[in-house]
Structure 1
Amino acid sequence: MQVRTALQINLHPLDERHAVHTLPHQLEVWGGQVDRVVLTVDTKQSASGRYGGDAYEDSRGRLFGLLETIANQASNVEIVEVDYAPAALEAVRQRYFASSAAHPEKAFDGGPFHAYFYGLLRSRADYVVHMDSDMLFGGGSQAWLDEAIGWLQRTPDALFAGPLPGPPRADGTLPDLHRSFPGLACVEPPQRLEADYPAYRFESVSTRIFVLDQGRFDAAVGALDLVRPNFKRRLRARLFHQSPLSMPAEEVITAAMMRKRLARIDFLGSGAGMYSLHPPFRSEKFYRELPNLIGRIVAGAIPDAQRGDYDINSSLFDWSEALRQKTKARRLVRAARALLPS
């Protein structure tokens, strides 16, 4: 049955260690604002890369146990395992890629592709609040989604809306949030809009968090086109046993937005509003201290150096342990292991 609003969260078995803390937080913030919650689990492993893992099966069992506990406590929560059968791939192609002959299962780097669009399809809602399972939220306004729908309805070229990226600065300004998309030409930086709170117009989208107007997609886009990786990325994809067909989903959607002159409206909203934060790294310390980190964000205990930054930085959380794992030498070792035969 079609509903007006749905919350759709993308998950993977290897998300289990943070999802045990982030999912209750996300449902607390968003669950009361939507008619349906769809927990979309991508259980298809990539051949290599950061989306694989030795602890996959154990993590899968723990994740589904967590999701079943959540679903048993709320009647509007659905657990949906991403379907990669030919019929499901074709259904997504017809819904979102009708003009393309192919619909890849994964992006060129092994990241999710079909899973994102399958989640949107299964949401069966006019407005879908999509997010990744690691997203955190401050402000917590329970009026935010209604305000977002208002923005979409009165802005004819707005396809998406989103919470303000990062906690607000005192003057409402954003830092340099200009993102580059390797497969696309220059994407213009955001423009501030007239509102009683910080609000900005973007011509790009991030698959981390967005609200999609499905009706606007049908009327203004109709069908997405794949964005072909360059030769270097196609070669990399083949070396790592990945599909070379397309750049990531957010580039595909952004390309359509630029082609059709569509926009995303990110805003804080009235009262305490709503803003998003993303943890860019993982470490044992992060998993151990995540409940406390969520508590500080919900309480509004945000240092000034974090304001305006949508990635959680070192002023809010000590990433030194995680950064030691990100050295160039360690990345090279991991890449070499991925290339070796099983």
Structure 2
Amino acid sequence: MAQITPRVSFTVNVCNSDAPYLEQTLRHMMRQLNFPFAERIATYDPGRQEGKYAERIQGSQNEVEQILQRLLADKLIDRVDVVPWTEAEQHRILMKYFGDEQIDLKDFSGAPIYQYLYAMDACAGDYLFHVDSDMLFYRQGDRSWLYDGLDLLQREKNVIVATPQGGPPQARNWLEKVTGHSFESKPKMDWHHASFTSTRYFLMDVARFHACLPLQQAKPGEPLENSLSHTFTHKGYQRWSMNGHNHWAIHPWRHDENYVRYLDDLIWAVEHGIYPFTRTGFKWDMRTEGEHIKEWLAVLRKHGRLQE
């Protein structure tokens, strides 16, 4: 008997500052995730960005709406939900997930809290895959990592969130930088426990998430990911992340002019498993600002993607 794939919802939050990279990135995601989602929802907040998000290159509502219409027409997403800012809906979401309507709608830096929870609340799947609109994914072979994530969640009852590896291999010391080769031993296990749950991307068991409610803030005004991590730990649940590098995710550290200019090339590099082994920053961040873009341009030229 053929095994039935569990119902998994895809949910991504979208705002106007995503316009410069949104369309290419979502098309890339659907190629790389390669999974039969039960529904694919983009939740759009057309409001003005605040805090650090107001400093990003801004697009317009018209641009974003046109992008979303093209994605709908090409059946890459199934639905666009617009975030409602009515007091009644804010009250409903905050009471359902925090049990407290006084929780800030955004964190201290302007990052979403209410918008994320509204998007997750609209999902009908038994599992949901939430992703930020700028994430890039590498997949070795045809099989999606999400199948492995589902197997894990169904097998390990204390795991609430599963994620792929954060970033491709990176030189960790002078010897690896000199030789250009990793001497890291092969992992003995397929997964490891990770103490923090980022809101950048995760596959979540919805029933276990609901069992954790209400969410608890360790500090007022903290990011939603801090509240998730704090609550999961308090309730005895864990996030597990993949070992090895058959699947990995990488996040642009800045959405700067370099990133937007070379976006198609950077997506090509990630999809082909091409990256600078020696590079600046954390292994899960793609640094493109200023001189750092040269690390990525060098490997692109080496593989014939860019002309000298």
Tell me the equivalent position of 1:167.
168
**CA offset at residue 87 of structure 1?**
2.5
**CA offset at residue 132 of structure 1?**
0.6
- Paired residue type of 2:205: D
CA 1:283–1:309: 2 relative to 1, 3 Å: same
Q: What TM-score results when the alignment is normalised by the length of structure 1? A: 0.73
Q: Give unmatched runs, 5+ long, in structure 2.
A: 1-5, 171-181, 295-308
Matches within 5 A, 1:269-288: 273-288=246-261
Q: Secondary structure at the match of 2:7?
A: strand
Q: Tell me the alpha carbon deviations over residues 238-273 of structure 1, each in whole angstroms, 9 at most, x when there is no partner.
A: xxxxxxxx211011111102212321111158xx73
1:72 aligns with 2:63: no
Matches within 5 A, 1:65-144: 65-74=66-75, 77-98=78-99, 100-139=100-139, 141-144=142-145
- Paired residue type of 2:257: E
**CA offset at residue 150 of structure 1?**
1.0
Range moving further from structure 2, 3-12 or 150-159: 3-12
- Paired residue type of 1:206: S
Runs of 4+ in 1 over 4 A off after TM superposition: 53-56, 168-174
Give 1:30's match in structure 2, choosing from 29, 33, 42: 33
Identity %: 24
Q: What TM-score results when the alignment is normalised by the length of structure 2? A: 0.80
Give 1:292's match in structure 2, choosing from 248, 256, 265: 265
CA distance in 2, matches of 1:49, 1:41: 18
Q: Tell me the alpha carbon deviations over residues 166-206 of structure 1, each in whole angstroms, 9 at most, x when there is no partner.
A: 114656679xxxxxxxxxxxxxxxxx7x53x4x22112100
Matches within 5 A, 1:143-162: 143-162=144-163
- Paired residue type of 2:262: E
The number of aligned residues is 276
- Is this contact kept in 2: 1:6–1:37, CA < 8 A? yes
- Paired residue type of 2:117: F
CA distance in 2, matches of 1:256, 1:210: 16
Q: Give unmatched runs, 5+ long, in structure 1.
A: 175-191, 230-245, 324-342
- Is this contact kept in 2: 1:14–1:60, CA < 8 A? no
Q: Tell me the alpha carbon deviations over residues 54-103 of structure 1, each in whole angstroms, 9 at most, x when there is no partner.
A: 985x52210110011111121752111111212321332243223x2424
Q: Secondary structure at the match of 1:106?
A: coil
Matches within 5 A, 1:229-248: 229=220, 246-248=221-223
CA distance in 1, matches of 2:265, 2:183: 28
Tell me the equivalent position of 2:306.
none
Tell me the equivalent position of 2:52.
50
Give 1:256's match in structure 2, choosing from 209, 223, 231: 231
1:200 aligns with 2:195: no
Q: Secondary structure at the match of 2:215?
A: coil
**CA offset at residue 33 of structure 1?**
3.4
Give 2:8's match in structure 1, choosing from 5, 10, 14: 5
